[in-house]
Amino acid sequence: MTYPFGAVVGMDDMRLALLLNAVSPAIGGVLVRGEKGTAKSTTVRALAAVLPSVAVVPGCRFACDPAAPDPACPDGPHEPAAPAQTRPARLVELPVGASEDRVVGSLDLERALTEGVKAFEPGLLAAAHRGVLYVDEVNLLHDHLVDLLLDAAALGTAYVEREGVSVRHAARFLLVGTMNPEEGELRPQLLDRFGLTVEVAAPRDPAVRAEVVRRRFAHDADPAGFGAAWAPEEASLAARIADARARLPRVVLSDDALRQVTAVCAAFDVDGLRADLVTARTAIAHAAWCGREEVTEDDVRVAARLALPHRRRRNPFDAPGLDDDTLDQALEDSRPEDAPDEDPPPPDGPGDGGTPPPPPNDDAGPGPGPDEGGYRDKGSPEGGEEAAGAPAREKAAVAPSDPFRARRLEVPGIGTGVAGRRSKARAERGRVVGSVRPSGPVTRLHLVDTVLAAAPHQVARGRSGPGLRIAREDLRQATLEGREGNLVLFVVDASGSMGSRARMGAVKGAVLSLLLDAYQRRDKVGLVTFRGGDAELALPPTWSVEAAAARLRELPTGGRTPLAAGLHRAAETLRVERVRDPQRRPLLVVVTDGRATGARGSDAVGAAHTAARRLADAGTAAVVVDCESGPVRLGLAGVLGAHLAARTLRLEELAADALAATVRSVREAA
C-alpha cells in the first residue's frame, strides 16, 4: 500500500525533518515520537517514493556508485568505467527481533577456517546503502543493535569482525526510527545520537480527521487511480529534493550564523557538541531546501526546533521540549551589532523625533508569565492539572522525595530473556563462559576450544606443514553470559498504616529510584497498589517507566491494608505475563511495613502469608522493602519476606551508597 508523501495533514514537522535528511543524510536521521495511529509508518514508507533514483554497479550487492565505487567493497574491485544501472532508492525495514548478524551481515566461519575462503553474507545495512533504513518501534530494539545502527549512520561504514576476519563496506543511509513513548523511552545516550526528533499527534480538528478518512477510503476504492492523482505532486517533490541536494555544497554558513547556532545550543545547556554539529547541518540543509545559498536566522531557528528538544532532558522522566522565549533571546543576543532587529523598538525620547512609550498600566494586572506560550512541565506544581483544579483524589497524593542511585536487585539463576542489564543470562553479547558443539552455522567461534578439539587428529589427517587441519566436527560455538532485562512488578502499600506524609514521600522516592534503575537496565515494569478495601493494577506491565513514575506520583494514601489482595493481584498479573512473555523472568518488589488489616473477624495476616507462600511455591523471585519506622519495630515485613522466600531490605538499604558503606565496614572489621 502506498500513500502520497504528506497526504496526512498535521505532520509538518515530521515531513520537514524527513525532507531535510533526504537533502543531507549527514544530519543523522530522524526519530519520530508519537501516539499510536498517527500515520508515522505510512509517512516514512511514502518517503522512498520521492527520493531520487540511484545509479549502481550491476550485480554489486552493496549498491556501489559507478562514478565512485567503494575500493573496499567485498564484491569489488569495480572498474570505474563499468556500465551503470539505475534503480529506485530502497526502503529497508529492520524488524525489532533482528539479530546482530542479520543487521551487519555475517561471515561463514566454517568455510573461512576449513577452506580458507572469506565468504560474506551482506546484512540489512548493506541493503540500505544509499537508501532509507526504517526501524519501527526503535525503542524496543536491543541497545547494542541501536548502537550499531547509529555508528554506521555516523561513519558511513559498517564493520564485521569475527575471530580475526574483518570485512567493511560503505553504509550511508537515511536512518528513520519511530516509537510510541507509552512503550518506553530510548536511553539518553542513544536519543542524543539521532539527528532530529519530532513529536506527532493525531489532529483534533474534525474537518482534518474527516479528510484523512476520506483519502483512505479513496485509496481503498481505487489504489492505482489514487496514486496516479498524486503522482505529479510526488514528481515535483522529488525534483525539489534533487535540486536541493545539488545546491547543498554551495550553501555558506557564515561566522555570524555559526555563532547563532552555538549560542542557541549553549543557551539550552545541551551536553557535548553533537547538538551544535547537527543544528548547523540542519540549518544548511534548510537553506538549500528553501533555495538559498546562505544560512539565515530563520534557518537556525527551524534547525534548533528540530535538533534540540530531545537533547534538553536532564533525567529519563523529563519530557522533551523547547522554550520559544529562550530561543528568541538566544538568537537576539547572538546577532551582530550592526544587524537590525526584526522588530525595532520605538525611539527612546522626544529628541529622536519619536513618541515616548506610554506608562505602564498598573490596573491591567500582571503580564504573561515566563511559561505562557512556551513549554510547561506538566509535572510541576505551577502547571498542568494543578492549575486547572485537580480533583480531590490527586490532591491527596504525597509528593515523592528526591530519587537516589539504587542498588541492583537481581533474579537468581541464569535466564534466557532479552538483552538488558539486570540479571545473568545466556546472551548474544557478554563474557565467554564455555563452548558447545554447534547445531547450525557457527556465529561465535570459540577459537581455543576449536584448536584443542582439532589437535589430536592432525597426524591422522596427514598434516605435514605448519597449517592446522580443521574439520566440521572440531568447531565449537562460544557460550556467552551477559545480562537480561526483567519484569519488575512493584506492589506498593498505600494504606493508612504507612504513617505520615513524610514517610510516604520517602517510600515514593525509593520506588521512584527503583523505577529509574529499571529504566537504565531496560526492564519492563508494572505497578500494583493496595489500600482501602482492594488492590488495583495501577499500571499493567509496560516498557514505559515514565508512565509508572506518573502513576506513582499521583498515588493517594489512606484506609485499611489489604495486603493479601495486593499479593493476589500480583500473582494474577504475573500469571498473565508469563503467557505473553514467557522468557522474561519476573522480579516482585513488595514495598510495605508488613501490616495487614481486613474486615472484622477475618485473619488478614494469615491470608497475606498464605498468598505469599503461593507466590514462593510458584518460583517467583521477590524482594521485600521494609518501610517500618520508629523506635519500636515489629518486624512484620521480615516475616512476610520469609513466607515469600525473599530477601528483606530496609528502606534505607536500597541506596547503592548504603551497600558500598556496608561492604567497607565488613572489610574493616575483618
Contact (Cβ atoms closer than 8 angstroms) between residue 561 and residue 602: no
The single residue listed with the C-alpha cell 533482528 is 98
Partners of 100 in beta bridges: none
DSSP alpha helices (H): ranges in 202-273?
206-221, 223-247, 255-267
Q: Which of 293, 300, 282 is nearest to 247 (CA)?
A: 293
Per the document, the length of the chain is 670
State the Cα angle at 82 between 81 and 87, rounded to 5°.
125
**Which letter does DSSP use for residue 481 in this model?**
E
- Catalytic residue of the set 168, 187, 274, 429: 274
HEC profile of 186-215: CCHHHHHHCCEEEEECCCCCHHHHHHHHHH
CB atoms within 10 A of CB 618: 12
**Farthest CA pair distance, the chain:** 108
Q: Is 274 a catalytic residue?
A: yes
User: Which triple of cell numbers denotes residue 9?
Assistant: 495533514
Instruction: Find, among 581, 557, 604, 416, the residue nearest to 489 by Cα.
Output: 581
Query: If DSSP codes are grouped into helix, strand and coil, which group holds residue 396?
Result: coil
Instruction: Compute, in degrees rounded to 10, the torsion defined by CA atoms 479, 485, 487, 489.
Output: 130
Question: Who's near 151: CB < 8 A, 6+ residues apart?
Answer: none
CB 30 within 8 A of CB 195: yes
Rounded CA separation 236/231 (Å): 9
User: Could you tell me how many helices (H) and strands (E) the chain has, helices first?
Assistant: 21, 19
Cell of 269: 545547556
- Give catalytic residue positions: 274
